[in-house]
Amino acid sequence: MVSTRALALALASICLAPPVLSEAQGVADVMGGIRDGGGWVEIPIEGGEGALSTMTMPSAGLRLAGCMTVWPGHSGEFEIRAHERILDHVLEFTAEPGVGVPFSHTFGMRAQIDFDFRWSEPRDTTLLLWIGLEYGERTTERSCEPKYAGS
């Protein structure tokens, strides 16, 4: 059901490198994710908190827009903080299950992102996060509508 194909690359709004624990993905994979309209990312949450870091990767000034949506079966709220280390940009979001949070970001020539997640419930879960992707400056309704297996 859950695929990480090119979606860690745009997690929470600005990510052009895969999580350290997953296989390396290139810009071609990001473009494939955009063509597919996005996908699902799984983030382990322990005691209400989780973290994810990416490797440094060429990003060639790419501009992405999209929408992230927490799987509607979750409860509570998720605070998400994304720190793009190379450009020193920080974005913070509060995401509720089933409610899309639009984003857009223009990368520099390289990108490396650290993500922190805090759940309003201090217990363990796997955060399921839809990352809808589009190329350019605008987010459309299309990117905020998660795709489910078989649909």
- With respect to CATH, is domain 8-144 assigned 3.30.70? no
| Mean of the per-residue pLDDT values of the chain | 76
Q: Are 126 and 43 in contact (CB under 8 A)?
A: yes
Please state the pTM of the whole predicted model.
Answer: 0.76
Q: Are 64 and 10 in contact (CB under 8 A)?
A: yes
Query: Which pLDDT belongs to residue 39?
Result: 82
Closest CA to 23 of 50, 49, 57: 57
| Residue-wise pLDDT tens digits, 95-143 | 999 999 888 778 788 888 889 999 999 999 999 988 888 766 666 677 8
Dihedral through CA 16, CA 17, CA 22, CA 24, nearest 10?
A: 110
Query: Which pLDDT belongs to residue 57?
Result: 78
| Residue-wise pLDDT tens digits, 31-88 | 666 677 788 888 999 999 999 888 887 777 777 778 889 999 999 999 999 888 888 8
**How many residues appear in the chain?**
151
